[in-house]
Amino acid sequence: MGLPGIQSSSLDTIGGTPLVRLSRVVPDGAADVLVKVEGGNPTGSYKDRMALAMIEGAERRGALRPGQRVVEFTGGSTGSSLAFVCAVKEYPLSIVTSDAFAPEKLRTMRAFGADVTVVPSDGGQITPDLFVRMREEVDRVIEREGAFWTDQFHNVDALTGYAVLGREILQQAGGDGVAVDVFCAGVGTAGMFAGVSAALRESGGPVRAVALEPTSSPMLTAGKAGPHRVEGIATGIVPPLLTPGSYDEGRAIDEAEARRLALPLARQEGIFTGTSGALNVAGALHLAREIGAGHIVVTVAPDTGLKYLTGDLFID
């Protein structure tokens, strides 16, 4: 976001991440696959973009007063990003999360000074009722503390933050004379997917937007939710920010296939990302095989694999 050199704030280091062409995991005869590598953001996640946009949007509207407590329920990356932004801007923060999510994320939130409430999961699985129970705890914090709820599932300021990501893709790909044919990514709040898709379509090209989800929780493709272990996506609802015009199709990707891809991505491409990033690339590879050589598929590696080292994702 800022110019090279000394930044006036660590918030100015958000964004400006690389766009990388995969070379070894893409099969012969397939379209090129470009990955926006977001692990270089300050907390190692693209959610830094959303957190800053939501807080600054609330400040501009006067919805967030100086020193007022902020609250959100989150699987971890949004919480880590909000903790970072609120620490810099001096807002107290309450995060409601769960033991279903990576412990590295919970530790990151606490490291930045957030007050963290952990709601027990059903055997470590991400289920629709888990988000209901987390939301109930948020309501208690709002009533008790008079907190400002960022409400990431409905907050349109998120689209502003993620539109910058989309414009970065256009600038980076366009510098090589590349026209994006397909954009695909997993959907959680859908802020990133909708914001990037809209920005890519502003270029005037016929970009096909494909929303991804795990086959075990096919809400978009089959109208039903289910348990899974892909953090950050498939929350059991069709998110409000995913409006009918924001995507062309939904597609379900096997979670086991995505997990098997995480190590090859790291060892063959140097792309070190979590389960949702691996699922995004798995979806991009499916689409690249379908549309064939001479075309471009773009996706996003949302975060760094450093957030998942205590789990089984990177075990042979």
Give the active site residues.
47, 276
Residue 104, number of CB atoms within 10 A of its CB? 17
Tell me how far apart the alpha carbons of residues 13 and 158 are, in angstroms, rounded to a whole number. Answer: 18
Tell me how far apart the alpha carbons of residues 286 and 212 are, in angstroms, rounded to a whole number. Answer: 11
Report which residue type is found at 251.
Answer: R
21-48 residues labelled b (16+ CB within 10 A) or e (exposed)? ebeebbeeebbbbbbbbbbebbbbbbbb
